[in-house]
Chains A and B, each alone.
Chain A
Amino acid sequence: MVNFTLNGLEVSVEKGTTLLEAADFYGIEIPTLCHDKGLSPYGACRLCLVEIGTPGRSRLVSSCTYQAREGLNVRTHSERVIKARKLLIEMYVALCPSSKVIQCLASKYHVTKVRFSPKHEDCILCGLCVRMCDEQMQAKAISFVNRGGRRLVSTPFAKKSEDCRLCGACIYICPACQTRCQGPQEENILCNACLNLEPPCLEKFEDVMCYMDPCVACELNTDKKPNK
């Protein structure tokens, strides 16, 4: 067993458990777009970032690929994590505003403005379909081609693939395929139909304490942020 600190809690998990699995086990939700329990971790969407290490010497890592280590200090909802996560979600919305999954994430993480011009892409290159086709369907009909900004998912040489059995698993797992709901602001790039409240404690503390308002931090009425 590996013992470590997760959001201030002393927890222990089996050796080889990733931080994402550990957080899931202890009921802490970490958003992801490229992770699925049935597929190998990929670490591409960067939404599952968590802060590891002591304040001042900490860094962000993707929790889906990072395995728990003895004595590690992990914070899943610190100010630094939330700042990065919100900006990434903002970029996701601008990239692919038609996806329900992304719009829901935006509401959940209180992303209320998008400062980038919309691109209306169909694909966010999370690679779920590629891994699904390879690992679960054993077909390897699709893969990534090209590099950087020209990267896309395709069959070899963009020809109809003989390995594809038209099983539809790639469509099933795609987070961008499901269209967004017809919310009150249908024309807007940002749906925000079911907007949650932002955790108020981030104004007082570096870590999220809870999602209630007023929360413990507010009740304490602390002016200073600890650990800074």
Chain B
Amino acid sequence: MKKITKPAELEELRKIIIDRRDPDKPSVAVCCGTGCLASGALEVVSSFEKILKEKNIDADLDTRITGCHGFCEQGPLMVIKPGNIFYCKVNQHDVEEIVEKTIMRGEIIERLLYVNPVTGEKIVREDEIPFYKKQYRLIFAYNGKLVPTEIDDYIELGGYSALRKVLEGISPAQVVAEVKASGLRGRGGGGFPTGIKWESCYNATDSPKYLICNADEGDPGCFQDGYLLEGNPHSVIEGMVIGAYAVGSKQGYIYVRNEYPLAIKNFGIAVEQARAYGLLGENIMGSGLSFDIRINKGGGAFVCGESSALIASIEGNVGEPRDKHTHATERGLWNKPTVLNNVKTWANIPIILNNGAEWFSRIGTETSKGTMIFSLTGKVNNTGLVEVPMGISLRDLVIDIGGGVPQGKKIKAVQTGGPSGGCIPEHLLDLPVDYEKLTEAGSMMGSGGMIVLDESSCMVDVAKYFLAFTQDESCGSCFSCREGITRMLEITDHITRGQSSLAELDLLQELAEVVKDASMCGLGQTCGNPVLSTIRYFEDEYRAHILEKKCPAGVCRELISFRIDQELCNGCRACLKKCPEEAIQGEKKESHNILQDLCTKCGICLETCKYDAVIKE
């Protein structure tokens, strides 16, 4: 690889790459994001390679191992060119048929096409699928189009051109002003204006200055940062190099959790390749700018995603937050000025510089600009990663893109922001997604987690789940957080067991407010949100647990019971055989009974019975 010594050489390199490649050559892009890997994408790839070799046509077809396409629900996915044919839920035994029919003869295999669950129609092209159609892909645009371990792919698609543009004649102050004018806000959850953060670091007199990319994504149900690093690591590198030029930094760090092995691997390869091309390291593109990135692997503590704990962890100390009375932009890593941004924030930078702040600020709402990637999970048909402009309504996100709730159940709430966020009830689904509106509704944007809850979810149980999570992940140094969460969990546990009182519910609310107010770091200051938002919107459910000793959703085991309807039961003995506790009695062809003392309320009998004779109360 030849080093780029002048910004203009990047364009030459790009031309060489384009000339070398045949745009009409058929290709198969197999999604190898973590989700599809888990559904068997690697087996599909290896069986592709084997069959192509056997048929001796491996030179005529590109097999591309790409990053996540986003539609994880339907994985493993593949897109075949020409024609943009989209196949989903492919397994290794389908490969031979795909090669013979689709690739060699251009026929479409109906069985592998995506079926619209609403209309039942089969869809051939990727861009016609409703899940993709309504998205606005900006940072995620190239995920799935490029091979993350090939820097040439990124350059071919116009990568590093924003960096070239900056190095060719935009001053650092202009870059900072451009980012500020774009209205970009931190995508890690806090929503702090990125431009202002950069500006204060730019103005800081101390040196050296550091950049940090926060990829310690730990919210339950969140995976967009990891998949972005897996699928398009160069966009983050480019963003960081531009940031380094703007604020005057020489050293950057990426703090990525060890649970993302593929992200670490792909990012490491990307860093090596960028160095080889002279896009990272000493004298970048011959401009005199020197900047390098080190990869720091996190040890799996959720609290290390908090900026001050993350900095402590990079310094080699215990990952505990410290009081942030001085901003990291003044005294951060090793007490030097530091800019810490989320993966998605860094990936936005090249887009802003390429298209201009004015263009970028036209996307989104008054206060929240650009797009946001959400991990759509939970009780929703189309699980996956979706990128939408800020200001889209929750209803569009969950119903139109997400395809609604499976099995025709009713949607109850949408949980956003992970353990720091809250639940937004069904009647507020028209709420536009932006930083302020979500906060007003008692939740928050967070890092982009979005869990859909249907009528079979108990809201007290949801609050209890998140409390158990934060209790486990709190660093424990500050009393209000450590003991406050433990006590809140104790009270929610009482409620789900039907051993609580209304006075205790008041105490729970008071406790959640005080813990939010009194704690030191972001974890403690937001851990009360799941409790407060569920009490705010679903107080009747709490009261039903407390006063009637009933769990309306039928989730809390202590408050439900199973019985067998004597009329409907025909004595088939199916449930009796399946019951792990031998709690069901009855003779053949005579109606059965459940012995309540032995029943552990596992619900197996309910699932087993074909005659709807088992009733959950």
Mark A residues whose CB is within 8 Å of B: 42-46, 49, 59-62, 65-67, 80, 83-84, 87-88, 91-92, 95, 115-117, 124-127, 144, 146-151
Assess A46 versus B486: contact at CB under 8 Å? Given A66-B325, A127-B477: no
Q: Which residue of B lies closest to A42 (CB)?
A: B477
Is B479 a contact of A147 with CB atoms below 8 Å? no
Is B482 a contact of A125 with CB atoms below 8 Å? yes
Is B474 interfacial (CB-CB < 8 Å)? yes
Is B479 a contact of A124 with CB atoms below 8 Å? yes
Contacts of A91 in B (CB 8 A): 479, 483-484, 487
Is B325 a contact of A46 with CB atoms below 8 Å? no
Tell me the bound Cα distance from A67 to B478 in angstroms: 19
Is A147 a contact of B476 with CB atoms below 8 Å? yes
Tell me the bound Cα distance from A43 to B482 in angstroms: 13
Contacts of B479 in A (CB 8 A): 44-46, 88, 91-92, 124-126
Contacts of B475 in A (CB 8 A): 147-148, 151
Is A62 a contact of B323 with CB atoms below 8 Å? yes
Q: What's the dominant secondary structure at chain B's contact region?
A: helix
Tell me the bound Cα distance from A126 to B486 in angstroms: 17
Is B478 a contact of A115 with CB atoms below 8 Å? no
Is B517 a contact of A149 with CB atoms below 8 Å? no
Is A87 a contact of B511 with CB atoms below 8 Å? yes
Is B476 a contact of A148 with CB atoms below 8 Å? yes
Is B472 interfacial (CB-CB < 8 Å)? yes
Is B447 interfacial (CB-CB < 8 Å)? no
Is B510 interfacial (CB-CB < 8 Å)? yes
Contacts of A115 in B (CB 8 A): 503-504, 507
Assess A46 versus B476: contact at CB under 8 Å? Given A61-B325, A65-B323, A66-B323: no
Contacts of B503 in A (CB 8 A): 115
Least Cβ–Cβ distance between A174 and chain B, in angstroms: 15
Among the listed B474, B490, B520, which residue makes an inter-chain contact with A62, where contact means beta carbons less than 8 Å apart?
B520
Is B249 interfacial (CB-CB < 8 Å)? no
21 pairs from A and B in contact (CB 8 Å cutoff): A42-B477, A43-B478, A46-B478, A59-B517, A61-B323, A65-B325, A83-B510, A84-B514, A88-B480, A91-B479, A91-B484, A91-B487, A124-B479, A125-B479, A125-B482, A146-B476, A147-B475, A147-B476, A148-B476, A149-B486, A151-B482
Contacts of A46 in B (CB 8 A): 478-480, 518-520
Is B312 interfacial (CB-CB < 8 Å)? no
Is B517 a contact of A84 with CB atoms below 8 Å? yes
Q: Which residue of B lies closest to A126 (CB)?
A: B479
Is B323 a contact of A116 with CB atoms below 8 Å? no
Q: Which residue of B lies closest to A34 (CB)?
A: B479
Chain B, range 476-533, C-beta contacts under 8 Å to A: 476-480, 482-484, 486-487, 490, 503-504, 507, 510-511, 514, 517-520
Tell me the bound Cα distance from A45 to B479 in angstroms: 5
Contacts of A80 in B (CB 8 A): 517
Tell me the bound Cα distance from A91 to B517 in angstroms: 15
* Per-residue contact bits, chain B 290-327, to A (CB 8 Å; 1 contact, 0 not): 00000000000101000000000000001000010100
Chain B, range 563-581, C-beta contacts under 8 Å to A: none
Among the listed B303, B478, B517, which residue makes an inter-chain contact with A44, where contact means beta carbons less than 8 Å apart?
B478
Tell me the bound Cα distance from A83 to B517 in angstroms: 10
Is B473 interfacial (CB-CB < 8 Å)? yes
Tell me the bound Cα distance from A115 to B501 in angstroms: 12
Which 7 residue pairs spanning A and B have beta carbons closest together? A151-B476, A148-B474, A65-B323, A148-B476, A46-B480, A84-B518, A87-B514
